[in-house]
């Protein structure tokens, strides 16, 4: 089975002939690198573009070693010009390539905004042209990097017709969603969480194992309250759910994984199952992804609710550089526990 065939059939697991699946323990960062390597190995149309991704190996060393393995024609160092590299990637996609563009930080994606929202996102509507580009955006906070290197700006692109947006929370999903993003005919913004790069390890299957875009994952089953989240907040939510279990509560955690298109069926199912919903994300609250999730639940599952739809998110301020201020700005397990207790008591 070729990689293209596997994706065409929606394959999410690929077992060997004896029924076994090779699984390795990788960090979140290593899983992304492994996904890039697999794509480069199995599809000659895949090319990487970005600032310092070649000899330097990328700002976070995600692409380290790929230049030596695949050469400068496929691992392409670019100038510090996000707009130019994204426009170049779009043009390459018209010629049959599948470019993967790295933003050093998700914050810098704003300088390429025109190429993404005005051009890449509109081509299929305008003249039926697919734009199979993937833009890797290392985002979110927790690393004391201040307001220009810690943003969670995914809502900009969730709001834009013609784009898909993913936000993996585990090493296995980081690899699987990346492979699906690269082969998707649409432009995909791939939000990877810097905080998880080296702090999180997990089992990652080898081979053509992909995660379909648009499918959420139930990370922790429960009956009393649902926490709906994505990215690094999935792990904070699971920690909160585990703590609340010791107090006798049953908390469900749903990982969205794909922010556009949302898995509406999974969102509505968990809301109807528990009757109480807490939506958590690191991005600032106003017009965040959580607002769309809340609106969906209010429209389609209102009769099942036993309490108000609650949201916990970053405040509407730039991300602080000061460690204690950033900790207060960024939702964590303790804040989730407090918000969940309030909703449980309603």
| pLDDT tens, position by position, 165-176 | 999 999 999 999
pLDDT of residue 21: 74
Task: Give the per-residue pLDDT at 20.
Answer: 60
pLDDT at 147: 86
pLDDT of residue 287: 94
Interaxial angle between packed helices 333-344 and 233-245, expressed in degrees from 0 to 180 and rounded to the nearest 10: 50
The residues with which 201 forms a beta bridge, in sequence order, are 27
Active site residue 149: yes
Residues 6+ apart with CB under 8 A from 230: 167, 169, 255, 256, 257, 259, 281, 289
* Selected catalytic residue, list 98, 149, 220, 235: 149
Give the predicted TM-score (pTM) of the model.
Answer: 0.92
Provide the H-helix boundaries in the chain: 3-8, 28-42, 66-70, 82-94, 113, 123-127, 154-158, 171-183, 233-245, 264-274, 289-300, 323-329, 333-344
Cis peptide before 156 (omega within 30 of 0): no
Ranges in the chain, pLDDT < 70: 1-20
Q: Helix or strand or coil: residue 220?
A: strand
CB 290 within 8 A of CB 339: no
């Amino acid at each position: 089975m070729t990689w293209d065939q596997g994706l065409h059939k929606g394959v999410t697991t690929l077992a060997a002939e004896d029924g076994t699946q090779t699984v390795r323990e990788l960090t979140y960062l290593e899983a992304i690198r492994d996904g890039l390597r697999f794509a480069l190995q199995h599809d000659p149309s895949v090319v990487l573009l970005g600032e310092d991704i070649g000899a330097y190996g990328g700002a976070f060393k995600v692409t380290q070693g790929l230049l030596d393995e695949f050469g400068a024609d496929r691992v392409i160092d670019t100038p510090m010009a996000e707009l130019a590299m994204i426009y170049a990637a779009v043009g390459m996609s018209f010629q049959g390539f599948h470019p993967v563009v790295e933003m050093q930080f998700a914050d810098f994606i704003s300088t390429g905004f025109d190429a993404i929202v005005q051009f890449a996102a509109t081509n299929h509507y305008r003249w039926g042209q697919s734009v199979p580009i993937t833009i890797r955006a290392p985002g979110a906070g927790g690393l004391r990097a201040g307001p220009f290197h810690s943003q969670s700006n995914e809502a900009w692109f969730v709001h834009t017709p013609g784009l898909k947006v993913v936000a993996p929370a585990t090493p296995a999903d980081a690899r699987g969603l990346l492979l699906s993003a690269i082969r998707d005919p649409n432009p995909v913004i791939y939000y990877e969480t810097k905080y998880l790069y080296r702090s999180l390890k997990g089992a990652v299957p080898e081979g053509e194992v992909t995660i379909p875009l648009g499918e959420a994952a139930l990370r922790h089953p429960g009956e009393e309250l649902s926490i709906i989240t994505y990215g690094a907040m999935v792990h904070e939510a699971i920690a909160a759910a585990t703590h609340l279990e010791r107090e006798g509560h049953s908390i469900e955690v749903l990982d969205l994984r794909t922010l556009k298109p949302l898995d509406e069926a999974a969102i509505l199912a968990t809301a109807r199952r528990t009757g109480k919903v807490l939506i958590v994300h690191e991005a600032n609250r106003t017009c965040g992804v959580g607002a769309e999730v809340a609106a969906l639940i209010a429209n389609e599952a209102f009769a099942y609710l036993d309490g108000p739809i609650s949201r916990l998110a970053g405040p509407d301020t730039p991300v602080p550089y000061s460690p204690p201020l950033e900790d207060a700005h960024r939702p964590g397990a303790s804040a989730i526990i407090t918000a969940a207790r309030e909703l449980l008591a309603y």
